[in-house]
C-alpha cells in the first residue's frame, strides 16, 4: 500500500466538516444503553461494604447475619481478617465485602448486617501540612533534579555548588517571587459510576462494563476467574464518563462475575456515589514552595522549588517533569517529597500531572508580572523562548488570537488596580499547556457489501467524545460516501483490537486504522471496477458517491453499481496502526493557550467566570463540532476544579466527609460564563495529520483562573479550589501584612 495521506486542506469532502454526532438521537432519546442501563432476566443486585475508618486492621468479619437477610443470595469477603498486610485497610471506603440479593434494598440491608471488628489505627489525610506529615512519619524524599548553566569545579561538592549558585542567581535577579501554591486532589466523579452487569452464557462471561478500555479488559476478568480471555466478552456501547478512571475490570467487576458464576444468575454491580468517590479515582494533589528569579522584563532565569503531595497510600506526588510547566528556565532545581496518606490510590485523571504542573508554576510566572507591575501577557510572551517543546512560535500566535478574543489589551489592568463596581472587581489571567496526543495502536475490519453497505468493526469505545462519528467520517471520506452511509461497530471486545481511550490517543489511532482499512477495501473494489472503466486499479478513486477514473467524472459507476460487481462476496479489509509508527496521517505534540476573565466579590470571596477563551491546535481537525465539544468539556471541568471541587477529609477518623453529589460541588451551567473556543488549524498544523485532543483543554484552567483572580484582587489566592473561604483568607492575610 502506498503511503497514505489526507486530502489537501480545504479539499476534503467530509473530514473537517461539522458533522453532528451519529449517535446523538440515541443518546438524547434514551435509546442508547449505558452499562448502568443493562438489565438481565433474573438478575441479582450487588452492593459493597466500605470500611468506615481511614486506617484500620480487620480483626474479624462475621457475615452470618447478612446471609440471613431475606433475599440475600451471596456474600463475598474481599479483605482478609488477620494480622498480615492484607488485613490492613488504608483508606475509608476501601472494600471489605460484597452482597448480592434479589433486590437493591435487600443487598443494602445485607451490607448493613455484616459485622466487622476493627483495630482502628491512626489515619493521616491532610497532606497539605508538610510539617504535620513529617511529624507523622508520612514523608519520604522523592529526589531532586538540578539544571544549572554553570558547572561546579572539579573539587566542588555538587550540592553545595548548587546551593551557592542558586543563591547567587536569586541575588542577581531584578525580582524574586517567593511563594506558595497548591492544588487539592479531586475525584473523577463520572456521572455514570463504575460497574458492570455480568452474565454467564455457559462457560463464557459477558461483562457489560462501563469502560474506556474495551479491548484491554477481558484478560483482567479472565485471570482471577481462572479462565482465559477468549472466554470473556466485554461490551460497552456508551459510557457516562471515565476521564482516565475506567481502564480496569476492577475488584468489584471480578467479584460480580464470581457471584454470577456461583449463583447462576446475572449480577449487576454499579458503585453507589459514596463508594464511587471513595474508591474509583482521584487525582494527586500538589503543594509547592518556590523561589523564582527574573529580570526587569519578567524573563525567568532561575527556578528553585520544593513540592509535595500524594496519590494516596504510596505517596507519589505530582511528577517533577511538569515543574515548572512548559517553561524551562536556564537554571532550575526542583525537590520532591512524597506524602503517604490514608486516601484511595489515584488513577490517571485527564492529562495526568499537567493541570497540577500548570497551577503550581504558571501562577509563579504571573506573580513575577504582579511583582514587577507589568502585563502578564508580556511576561508569558517574553518567556516563550524557554518553552521545552519547541513550540514558541505556535504559542505566540495562539496568544495573539486569544488576546484578541478576550480583548486583553483594552481590558487588562495592573494586578489589583482595576475599577471596582461596589465590591466587585474583575481581572484577566492566562496559561498555556502542552500534550502528546499521538494515536494508540488500533486495528479495524472494514467491510463493503455487494449491496453497497459499508461497515467497520473495532474494539474501541466512545468515551463520550464522538468517536463513532469520527470513525464514520474517516471511512466516508475514504470511500466518497456520506457519514450516514457507514455503520460503525465499536464497544465489543470481539472486534479487532483497539487501544484504550486514554491520553488523547483515540482519534489519531482510530483515524489511522480506518483510513487504512477503508483504503485497502477500496483498492479491492478498484480491482473489479477498473476493467469496467478501461482503467488501471490505481487510477480509481471514490468521490461523491461514485467510483471513477481519477479526475474523470464521466468515466464512473455509482457506488451501488460498483459494489454490485462483488457478486456474492463482501470485501473484508483490515486496517492496522502501531503506536509510534511514523505516518503522514497522524502526529503528536500540541500547544494551547487559555485566557480567563473573572469577577470577584471582595466582600464574600465569591468568584464568577465571566468569559473563558481556549485556543487549541490538534493538527488536522476531523470534526470541528466534536472537537469544540471536547474543549468546552475540558474548560468546564477546569472551572470545576478551580472553584468548586474538593475532597474533604476528617483528620481524626480519616472519613471522606463529602462523598455525595450535594456536597462534592461541581460547576453548574450557571457557573461557566461564556466559553469561546478557537480551533487553531493553519496549514502548518493541518498537514501534521490527526492529533488527540482529550487532555489539552483541561490543563490550563487552574492557572488561568488563579491568575485572573490574582489580577482582579492584587492578591494571590494560592490554593485551588478558590473557595470563598480561601479568597477571604488571602485578602485578610494581605491586609494584615500591609
Partner 1 sequence: MKAFRYASPRVEDEAVDLLEDRWGASELLAGGTDLVGLMKKMVVTPELVVSVNRIDSMRGITADSTGVTIGAGTHLDELLDSPLMDDYPAVKQAIRNIDSLQLQSQSTVGGELCQRPRCWYFRNGYGLLADQGRHVVEGENQYHAIFGNSGPAKFVSASRLAPVLMALGAEIRVVGPSPGDETTMPLEFFYRIPRNERQRETSLEPRQMITHIRLPADAERSCAVYEVRRGAGPADPLAAAAAHCRLRDGVVEAARIYLGQVAPTPWNVEEAARWLVGRTLDERTAREAGEIAVARATPLSKNAYKVQLARVSVERALRLVAGLDCGGF
Q: Does 141 bind partner 1 (CB under 8 A)?
A: no
Q: Which is nearer to partner 1, 222 or 598 (CB)?
A: 598
Q: Are 708 and 408 in contact (CB under 8 A)?
A: no
Instruction: Assign 525 to helix, strand or coil.
Output: helix
- Site mask, partner 1, residues 252-291, x = CB under 8 A? ----------------------x-----------------
Q: Does 663 bind partner 1 (CB under 8 A)?
A: yes
DSSP class of residue 499? -
Q: Does 665 bind partner 1 (CB under 8 A)?
A: yes
Which range touches partner 1 (CB under 8 A), out of 81-89, 473-481, 613-621, 658-666?
A: 658-666
First-last CA distance in the chain: 71
Residue 76: its H or E element: strand 72-77
Q: Write down the least CB distance from residue 539 to partner 1, Å.
A: 60
* CA pair distance 595, 398, nearest whole angstrom: 11
* CA pair distance 344, 531, nearest whole angstrom: 65
* CA pair distance 275, 95, nearest whole angstrom: 9
Q: Does 424 bind partner 1 (CB under 8 A)?
A: yes
Instruction: State the CB neighbour count (10 A cutoff) for residue 551.
Output: 9
Q: Does 660 bind partner 1 (CB under 8 A)?
A: yes
Q: Does 612 bind partner 1 (CB under 8 A)?
A: no
Which range touches partner 1 (CB under 8 A), out of 187-195, 216-224, 393-401, 420-428?
A: 420-428
Q: Does 642 bind partner 1 (CB under 8 A)?
A: no
Task: Using alpha carbons, list the distances in angstroms from residue 24 to 27, 31, 33, 442, 626.
Answer: 5, 10, 13, 24, 11
Q: Does 245 bind partner 1 (CB under 8 A)?
A: no
Instruction: State the CB neighbour count (10 A cutoff) for residue 402.
Output: 26
User: Contact with partner 1 (CB under 8 A): which of 81, 123, 195, 605?
Assistant: 605
User: Contact with partner 1 (CB under 8 A): which of 652, 682, 683, 684?
Assistant: 652
Residues for the chain: how many in total? Answer: 738
CA 562 distance to own-chain centroid: 43
Instruction: Provide the pairing of β-strand 606-617 with 593-601.
Output: antiparallel
Total binding residues toward partner 1, as defined by CB under 8 A? 43
Closest alpha carbon to 510 in 526, 525, 489, 524: 489
Which range touches partner 1 (CB under 8 A), out of 130-138, 177-185, 345-353, 718-726?
A: 718-726
- Alpha helices, DSSP H only, in 495-613? 506-532, 559-564
Indicate the burial class of 523 (C-beta count within 10 angstroms; 0-12, 13-18, 19 or more): middle
The 3 state secondary structure assigned to 719-734 is EECCCHHHHHHHHHHH
Q: Write down the least CB distance from residue 709 to partner 1, Å.
A: 14
Q: Write down the least CB distance from residue 186 to partner 1, Å.
A: 16
User: Contact with partner 1 (CB under 8 A): which of 167, 191, 484, 651?
Assistant: 651
Q: Write down the least CB distance from residue 72 to partner 1, Å.
A: 12
Q: Does 572 bind partner 1 (CB under 8 A)?
A: no
Q: Write down the least CB distance from residue 703 to partner 1, Å.
A: 20
Q: Which is nearer to partner 1, 170 or 606 (CB)?
A: 606
Q: Write down the least CB distance from residue 655 to partner 1, Å.
A: 6
Q: Are 331 and 301 in contact (CB under 8 A)?
A: yes
Per the DSSP assignment, residues forming a β-bridge with 187 are 282
Q: Write down the least CB distance from residue 127 to partner 1, Å.
A: 15
Q: Which is nearer to partner 1, 488 or 667 (CB)?
A: 667
Asked if the peptide bond before residue 324 counts as cis, ω within 30 degrees of 0, the response is: yes
Q: Which is nearer to partner 1, 325 or 664 (CB)?
A: 664
Span 43-72, contacts to partner 1 by CB under 8 A: 52
Indicate the burial class of 468 (C-beta count within 10 angstroms; 0-12, 13-18, 19 or more): buried
* CA pair distance 531, 509, nearest whole angstrom: 34
Residues sharing a CB contact under 8 Å with residue 42, sequence separation 6 or more, in sequence order: 265, 266
Span 91-110, contacts to partner 1 by CB under 8 A: 104-106, 108-109
- Site mask, partner 1, residues 520-559, x = CB under 8 A? ----------------------------------------
Q: Which is nearer to partner 1, 106 or 187 (CB)?
A: 106
Residues that bind partner 1 (CB under 8 A): 52, 104-106, 108-109, 112, 274, 422-424, 599, 601, 603-606, 608, 643-644, 648-653, 655, 657-658, 660, 662-663, 665, 667-671, 723-725, 728-729
Amino acid at each position: 500500500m502506498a503511503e497514505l495521506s489526507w486530502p489537501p486542506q480545504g479539499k476534503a469532502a467530509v473530514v473537517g466538516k461539522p458533522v453532528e454526532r451519529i449517535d446523538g438521537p440515541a443518546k438524547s432519546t434514551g435509546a442508547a444503553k449505558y452499562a448502568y442501563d443493562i438489565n438481565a432476566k433474573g438478575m441479582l443486585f450487588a452492593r459493597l461494604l466500605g470500611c468506615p475508618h481511614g486506617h484500620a486492621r480487620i480483626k474479624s468479619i462475621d457475615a452470618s447475619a447478612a446471609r440471613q437477610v431475606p433475599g440475600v443470595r451471596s456474600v463475598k469477603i474481599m479483605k482478609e481478617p488477620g494480622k498480615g498486610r492484607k488485613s490492613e485497610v488504608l483508606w475509608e471506603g476501601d472494600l471489605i465485602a460484597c452482597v448480592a440479593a434479589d433486590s437493591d434494598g435487600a443487598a443494602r440491608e445485607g451490607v448493613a448486617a455484616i459485622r466487622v471488628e476493627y483495630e482502628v489505627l491512626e489515619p493521616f489525610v491532610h497532606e497539605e501540612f508538610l510539617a504535620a506529615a513529617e511529624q507523622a512519619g508520612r514523608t519520604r524524599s522523592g529526589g531532586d533534579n538540578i539544571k544549572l548553566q554553570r558547572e561546579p569545579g572539579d573539587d566542588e561538592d555538587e550540592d553545595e555548588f548548587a546551593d551557592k549558585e542558586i543563591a547567587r542567581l536569586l541575588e542577581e535577579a531584578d525580582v524574586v517571587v517567593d511563594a506558595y501554591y497548591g492544588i487539592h486532589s479531586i475525584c473523577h466523579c463520572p456521572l455514570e459510576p463504575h460497574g458492570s452487569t455480568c452474565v454467564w452464557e455457559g462457560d463464557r462471561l459477558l461483562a457489560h462494563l462501563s469502560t474506556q478500555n474495551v479491548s484491554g479488559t477481558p484478560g483482567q476478568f479472565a485471570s482471577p476467574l481462572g479462565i482465559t480471555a477468549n472466554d470473556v466478552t466485554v461490551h460497552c456501547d456508551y459510557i457516562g464518563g471515565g476521564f482516565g478512571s475506567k481502564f480496569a475490570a476492577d475488584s468489584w467487576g471480578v467479584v460480580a462475575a464470581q457471584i454470577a458464576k456461583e449463583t447462576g444468575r446475572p449480577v449487576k454491580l454499579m458503585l453507589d456515589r459514596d463508594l464511587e468517590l471513595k474508591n474509583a479515582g482521584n487525582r494527586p494533589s500538589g503543594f509547592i514552595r518556590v523561589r523564582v528569579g527574573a529580570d526587569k522584563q519578567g524573563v525567568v532565569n532561575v527556578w528553585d522549588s520544593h513540592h509535595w503531595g500524594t496519590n494516596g497510600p504510596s505517596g507519589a506526588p505530582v511528577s517533577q517533569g511538569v515543574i515548572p510547566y512548559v517553561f524551562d528556565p536556564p537554571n532550575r532545581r526542583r525537590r520532591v517529597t512524597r506524602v503517604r496518606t490514608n486516601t484511595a490510590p489515584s488513577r490517571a485523571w485527564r492529562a495526568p500531572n499537567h493541570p497540577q504542573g500548570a497551577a503550581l508554576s504558571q501562577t509563579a510566572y504571573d506573580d513575577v508580572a504582579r511583582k514587577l507591575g507589568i502585563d502578564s501577557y508580556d511576561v508569558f510572551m517574553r518567556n516563550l523562548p524557554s518553552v521545552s517543546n519547541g513550540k514558541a512560535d505556535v504559542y505566540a500566535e495562539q496568544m495573539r488570537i486569544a488576546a484578541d478574543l478576550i480583548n486583553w489589551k483594552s481590558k487588562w489592568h495592573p494586578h489589583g488596580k482595576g475599577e471596582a463596581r461596589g465590591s466587585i472587581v474583575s481581572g484577566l489571567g492566562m496559561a498555556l499547556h502542552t500534550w502528546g496526543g499521538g494515536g494508540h495502536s488500533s486495528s479495524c475490519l472494514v467491510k463493503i457489501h455487494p449491496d453497497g453497505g459499508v461497515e467497520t468493526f473495532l474494539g474501541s469505545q466512545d468515551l463520550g467524545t464522538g468517536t463513532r462519528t469520527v470513525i464514520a467520517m474517516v471511512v466516508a471520506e475514504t470511500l466518497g460516501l456520506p457519514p450516514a452511509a457507514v455503520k460503525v461497530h465499536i464497544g465489543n471486545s470481539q472486534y479487532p483490537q483497539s487501544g484504550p481511550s486514554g491520553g488523547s490517543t483515540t482519534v489519531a489511532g482510530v483515524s489511522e486504522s480506518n483510513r487504512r482499512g477503508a483504503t485497502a477495501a477500496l483498492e479491492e473494489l478498484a480491482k473489479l471496477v477498473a476493467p469496467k472503466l478501461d482503467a488501471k486499479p490505481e487510477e480509481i478513486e471514490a468521490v461523491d458517491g461514485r467510483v471513477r477514473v481519477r479526475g474523470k467524472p464521466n468515466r464512473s459507476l455509482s457506488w451501488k453499481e460498483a459494489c454490485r460487481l462483488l457478486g456474492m462476496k463482501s470485501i473484508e479489509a483490515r486496517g492496522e496502526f502501531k503506536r509510534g509508527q511514523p505516518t503522514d496521517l497522524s502526529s503528536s505534540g500540541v500547544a494551547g493557550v487559555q485566557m480567563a476573565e473573572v469577577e470577584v466579590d471582595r466582600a464574600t470571596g465569591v468568584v464568577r467566570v465571566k468569559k473563558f477563551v481556549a485556543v487549541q491546535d490538534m493538527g488536522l481537525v476531523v470534526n470541528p463540532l466534536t472537537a469544540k465539544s471536547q474543549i468546552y468539556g475540558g474548560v468546564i471541568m477546569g472551572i470545576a476544579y478551580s472553584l468548586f471541587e474538593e475532597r474533604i477529609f476528617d483528620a481524626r477518623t480519616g472519613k471522606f466527609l463529602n462523598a455525595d453529589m450535594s456536597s462534592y460541588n461541581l460547576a453548574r451551567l450557571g457557573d461557566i460564563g461564556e466559553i469561546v473556543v478557537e480551533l487553531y488549524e493553519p496549514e502548518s498544523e493541518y498537514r501534521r495529520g490527526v492529533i488527540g485532543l482529550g487532555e489539552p483543554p483541561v490543563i490550563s484552567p487552574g492557572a488561568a483562573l488563579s491568575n485572573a483572580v490574582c489580577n482582579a484582587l492584587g492578591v494571590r489566592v494560592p490554593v485551588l479550589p478558590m473557595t470563598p473561604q480561601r479568597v477571604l483568607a488571602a485578602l485578610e492575610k494581605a491586609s494584615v501584612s500591609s
